[in-house]
Structures are given as C-alpha cells and as structure tokens.
Chains A and B, each alone.
Chain A
Amino acid sequence: MNITRRDFLGKTAVFTAAATLPPALFHPLKSFAEPQPKATIAAVTGSRVDAVKKAVSMIGGMELFVKKGSRVCLKPNMSFPHEPDRATNTHPEVVATVARLCIDAGAAEVIIIDYPFNPPEKCLKLSGIADACKGIKNTHAFVIYNENLFQSIPIINGKELKEVQLIKDVLHSDVIISLPTAKSHSTTGVSLGMKGLMGLIWDRRYFHASVDINKAIAELAATVKVNLVILDASRALLNAGPSGPGLIDFPKTIVAGTDQVAVDAYGVTLAKWYGQGFAPAQVKHIAAAQQLGLGTCNLDEVTVLKAQV
C-alpha cells in the first residue's frame, strides 16, 4: 500500500485529535432540578484504617462504586511539603486504605493525583503518601505540575467559569474518589472536599484573582463528576489553614458519601473552626453548591449513619 505524505499527515492529525479529546464531553453543569433522593452519608469514629473501611461499607461498599476492571482516580490533598503531623495533607493511611479497597473491589488501576505547591516531588514524599502506597498493586501516585498533563474542558452554563483546565487523569477515569483532609482556610473558611477539587486545576490564580472564588468552587464541584467523597477528619487543622502550622484537633472521624455538599456540611460541624465554629450554610461555597442543586447542606435532610470502631 502506498502512503502519500498527504495521507499520512491527515491520518496523523485525526489520530492525534482522537487521542487528545476527552472520552465524553464532561458533565456540563447539568441541571439538578429533578428532586434528588435523600442523601445518606456515613460518619465513623475510631482508628483511621478501620473507620475508612467501616464508613465505605456502611454506604454500600466499594463494589458499589468501583466495578471490575475500572480505572480509579483518587484525589487526596497532598499539596504541601509537610509531614503528616502538620495535618495539611490527607493522612497517608487513609489514602492507602482507600487504594486497597479499590483494588480489592476489582479496580484495574488506581491513580493518585494532585497538583501540589512547590516543590512537587517533595510534597509526594513528605506527605507519606508515596511510601504508603508503594506496595499496593496497580496503584500509582503522581504529583502533576506540567501543563501538558492538563486538558481544557468547557463549563457549559457556568456563571463564573467558562472553561477549566483539569488534570487529564480525571477526565479519563471511570471513578473519581475525592479524599480531602479537614482544614480551615483563610479565604473560604474551610477546605474540605469541594475546595480540595481546586487541586485538579491548572490556573488556581484565576480563582483567587478574577472570579468569586466561592461560586467558582461550587461550579467546579458540579463539573467534576466525583463518585465518592471520603473526608479524612481524623485530624482537623482548626486555624491558619490551608498551610498551617495551626491548632490541630482530633475529631477522629471519617465521613463518606456520594453527596459532596452533605459530606462537606457534616465536616463543618466536626470542629470548632477559628475558635468558634459555624454552621454549614454559613460557608459560602457550600451554600453556593447547594444552590446549584449539587446536594444539600441542611443536615436535617441528610441521613447520617454513625458508628464507632
């Protein structure tokens, strides 16, 4: 068969385009107008590893979310070059436990990602997450800091955001599990699951400098299709967040659920932020997410399954 240069160039272009497009256009801020079923979340106190396992089993078990052969993307917070005792990153035991649960449920691969602050590789190392996940099969932890590993997607109906550059792995995974740690945040009040999703985007400055950050977080959370949130509130950084060092409390709780807003709302109630605490609806980005129909922050409408291990 003769291949002409024109042929070759044409085919290369088509192939390249196909390889770089997201598998499906991504979840454009869909209308949540239809009534959502009452949210159920699990809150388990006790030792980290057991609490994670218990919480996941209480909301249906990992098999409910992770089908055999699926690609799972875990998004912990590993943004800071700090050791676990600073409570600025998700605890490595939590990340490793969730990764194991995914693999046991039949996941083909688990990718753990975050776009950390500087220096990236040290965040991966000092957070303890790289070491904790080293021995788990088909599990890979990466810090992403190269723009080529991000991909721009449009946000249809977005008010604050028109498009956002997300880490590609998120777009090409079957399951996305958010693994935030519970922290205060000097702009947004708290940094839990939805705020943590800012670790998936390339241009964070834009959020701070150009738009209403609280609404932007809500739109981002509505765009990224998070299948499950497991909040690590084994510790909570009460003030000086997100970077600390600050006062650390130990709610010793793991919260799991599919409703990002409800999990964050429950997280707000777990600690006395800034020496006083506040209600979930007081946190603007959580309230904004409820307004978008992403979930509920009214805990009276949420079934909270509690347990102790």
Chain B
Amino acid sequence: MRRWMQLGVLGLFGLLFALNPLAEKLVLPPDLFLKADPLLSLSAFCASWRFHESLLYGLPVLLMALLAGRFFCGWLCPLGTLFDLCAGKSKVGRLLCSPQWKLRLLVLLAAAALLGSNLAGLIDPLAFLTRMFTFIAYPLVMLITATGIELLRPLADYLRLLTLSHAQVAQPVFSLILLTVMLCAILFTLNHRFPRFWCRSCCPLGALLGIVARIGFFRRRVATSCTSCMQCASACPTGAICEEPRQYRPKECIYCTACTTVCPVQAISFGYAPAPAPLPDRERRGLLASAAAGAFAAFSIKKDVLAKSNPNRLIRPPGALPEPEFQGACVRCGQCMKICPTNTLQPCLFESGIGGIWSPRLDTRLAGCDQTCALCGTVCPTGAIRELQLEEKKHAKIGTAAIDAGRCLVWAQDRLCLICDEQCPYDAIVFRWKDGTRKPFVIDTRCNGCGFCEQVCPVQGRSAIEVWQHGEIRLSQGSYSEKAQELKLDLKENAGDDAFIMQGEPSEKLPDGVITK
C-alpha cells in the first residue's frame, strides 16, 4: 500500500509539473508541492520577512508531522520515492554519515535565513526534484518527442497526415543542465550504495519534520511479547530502531512499517502511544558550529561585492521583488523557467553573486519576454515573482535596451537594418536623422526591457542592442502601472514615431527602400 501511495504521489508531482502551463485551470495549483513544503516557505519568510500564502500551505504538512512524524518522508515525498525506486539490492542501507548532519544542515539554513540568506532551496528535496524535472526531465522528454516526430515526418508527409507532418515542439535549453545532471548522478549513485542516505543524513526537511515528530502521538509500539531478536533493527531502512528494540528514534522513523512485517512474534504495531523518553543528545556543540557556519554563509553572501555593485547583466523576471528581498524569497525551484514560453528564463550561475545560483534571470539574447504572458508569477511558490495581471506586468519594467554603436550594422557599417525596430512592441526604437543617414535610437521611456530587439539582432555573437537592468522597476508592493506613470513611461501601443519621418524635407522622409524623386 505504501508503494502505491508513493507512486501515486510521484505521479501527481509529475503530472502537475507536466501540465504546468495548463494547471492553473485545474483544481490543484501547479506549485502545490513546493508551496506545501514548510521548509521552503519558512526559510523564504525568515529571509525576506514577507508573509506569503505558502506558509499556510505548509501547515498541513507540519500538522501531519505533529501527528505521525516523518510519515511524509516515507509515504509522500516524491524524491524519497525515486530514491526507493533507484536503491540498490540492499534496502537496508549502511549509514553514509551521521544522521545528525541533517539537523546541523537545518540549523545552518535557519541561521542563514534569519540573517537574510535563503539557502534552503539549494538542498530542499522538493526544490531539488523540481529542478531535476525542469533541467533534465523536461528538455529530455521534449528532445525525445521531437526525435520521434522527425522520424515519423516522412511517413506523415506521404500519408498527408498534416497535423503530424507539421508538428513542431519547443526545444527548451538551459544553461545549468550539466551541473544538475552531475549533482543527480552523485546523489543517485550514493543512494544506490547507501539507500536513502539523503533522507537519513542530509535532508533538512526531514530534520524539520523530525523535530516536530518528537511531540507526535501516532507511534511505533512494541508489545511485551518482544523477544529482542533484533530483526526489526536490521530491517529498518532508516536506522530508527535502537540497540534496545523496544525504543526507537521518532525523528528517524518514516513509518515504512518494515519492522512490523519482519517481527516473528508480531509484537510491533503503529498507533497511539505516549512520547518515549527522549534519547540523550550530545550535539550542542555541533549545532552551535552549524549555526555559526550558517551565519558566516549569510555574511559572505550579504557582503559579496556583487551585492553592492553588480557589473553583470542581471535581468530578473518582471514582477521580481527588489533584489535583496527577491534573493530572500526565491527558493531556486526552477518552476518559472519551466513555464516560460520563450525559454528566456535561465538559471544564474554567479551573475547574481554566489548566493544567487539557480535563481532566474532573463537571457534576452536567447529570447525576449512574451508580452502576452505573465505565467512566471503564477507559479512562483513563495511570491518572489509577484503574480501580475498583463497590464501590470507590462509596466514592470525589467531593464532598458542599449545600442552598441560600435557593433550596430547601421551605426558602424552604414547598412540597412531595422530588425530591432521591427520587433519592438512599443516602438521604443526610432530612426533619427544623423550624419546624413537614418540611425536607430532607443527611447528609454518606451522600453520595458522585453528584449526582442536583442534576440533578433543579426549581428553575430553579442548583440548590438542589449537589455541591461538599468531603469528596472522592482516593487515589493503597490502598482507598477502607477509607478510607471510616475516615471512617465509610455508603453501604450501608440502611433509610431515615424512622425519624425513626415516632418522635414521629402528627401528625409522616406524609408531607404524608396527612391526619392
């Protein structure tokens, strides 16, 4: 029964992920799992000091832990299920390192979060799994689909199955695929040798649930008929059963019920039981050291030079909170990058500092930001990207385009090119008469940084027009439209700027494709 439940939940996770863009129409939110992860929401809350509804979604999971300890880990956690499925022959793992490490990690994360650095997403199981799906499963499935389509296309052409013969599927690309693959390879290789070592020794969410579990009351009970044969202790996959088999460690038990099955005298059952006497913890020093490590991590991230002056191009998604708050709230799950229809959202490596790895940025050379879409804000589990209506999102300016006259075909080589102008949805690129020819300029108040100009620039390599974060509008609350009005932005789809062409001498009025008489 446990296996079926695990598979069902993993299936639900996969389904919500796959249906991501459509899931908003479903009953369940697409980011259900991430929202329900109390570690992520608590860490985001502490680091950004910003209330978000995900805190409430996490309550049932905490409540469940209050009742039945780490039931979540054994029965629900989709990463745990994958670990179970991919474990080696021996289901009862040797320990890789002390189970105390996960508590230390949790303390480290808590200390860092309280000091404003949200690192939980890097090692949280659900964020990790979502990244695995975004950066590995999703592009892989699309690649396989596309390969299948290409194989069938000649046949479909021949049979005139037009929908199939014209089928085109998006091919997402991501910048940190290799890193994700390597991390997964390490984890799953270790897991093969040391089943569920992650859950036993590393998982900070497991540690959090384990702490809550100490006061639970749905517990493992051992009847007096126990013969101390120790079979249960050696069958327990998480080492929750002590040298004295009538006792156990609630913070390790994942309620897999392996012990009840192996017990030769059926002495073990699960049900109401008072809390056992706590086993002695000799861990104060280790935990203090972890807290100090977390504090130093937060310190080194907060005081990184990039936090003060960032020379990198860092275009955050529209609606992203102001940078320090954003980094505090973002849990690096990668949902926004999965849902982005143009694939412009990419994970940072070090563009936003060492603490910003995996956080989203726009790669406007790769693609622009679709002006008819505001999906990224709808799937952000912690509200690091605000959920905006289209009109608001339009005014959530993410940067400003800047022309590099040294590279621009018109400015540098006097060629006829206008592709950036052609693509600009707000006519922010205009041609002005300069030095005897018409040359493109950017009107900053009409540019919201969408980046289509940069995407289509025909100059190879670095674009001759690039979006930089200059002029971005980042609000933690309030209306972007009002802010834009205050800044006199003009993002209406108004009549073009060609008015200038119509002034002046006829010889200056017309496009180059027309001979003036």
Contacts and interface: CB of A to CB of B under 8 A. Distances in A.
Interface of A: 16, 19-20, 81, 86, 109, 111, 117-119, 122, 126, 140, 142, 144-146, 148-149, 172, 184-190, 205-206, 208-209, 213-214, 239-240, 242-247, 274-276, 278-279, 281-285, 287
B160 interface: yes
Nearest to B416: A187
Nearest to A268: B514
Contact of B153 (A148, A209, A276): A148
Contacts, number: 139
B408 to A, nearest CB: 11
B513 A209 contact: no
B486 interface: no
Nearest to A125: B372
A74 to B, nearest CB: 14
B88 interface: no
A279 B510 CA distance: 12
Majority secondary structure of chain B interface residues (helix, strand, loop or mixed): loop
B458 A187 contact: no
B162 A109 contact: yes
B167 to A, nearest CB: 9
Given A209-B409, A274-B498, A148 B150 contact: yes
B491 to A, nearest CB: 12
A284 B496 contact: no
A245 B427 contact: yes
Interface residues of B, number: 54
Nearest to A140: B162
A109 B160 contact: yes
A209 B419 CA distance: 9
A56 to B, nearest CB: 24
B498 A239 contact: yes
Nearest to B370: A119
Majority secondary structure of chain A interface residues (helix, strand, loop or mixed): mixed
Given A111-B162, A119-B341, A213 B513 contact: yes
A11 to B, nearest CB: 14
B511 A142 contact: no
Q: Which of B162, B431, B498, B512 has the most CB of A within 10 A?
A: B498
Interface string B148-189: 001001100110101100101000000000000000000000
Contact of B168 (A19, A126, A145, A281): A145
A121 B415 CA distance: 32
Given A239-B501, A245-B493, A187 B427 contact: no
Contacts of B150: 148
A304 to B, nearest CB: 22
B31 to A, nearest CB: 23
A244 B514 CA distance: 19
Nearest to A217: B513
B417 interface: yes
Contacts of A275: 502, 509
Nearest to B517: A282
Contacts of B368: 118
A1 to B, nearest CB: 22
Given A148-B153, A246-B496, 13 more contacts: A20-B154, A117-B423, A118-B452, A187-B512, A190-B513, A206-B458, A208-B416, A208-B418, A208-B419, A239-B501, A240-B427, A240-B495, A240-B496
A146 B154 CA distance: 15
Given A118-B368, A274-B502, A276-B506, A240 B497 contact: yes
Contact of B513 (A122, A146, A185): A185
A189 B514 CA distance: 6
Contacts of B166: 140, 142, 144, 149
B515 interface: yes
Contacts of A146: 168
A149 B494 CA distance: 36
Given A117-B423, A282-B514, A209 B158 contact: no
Nearest to B423: A117
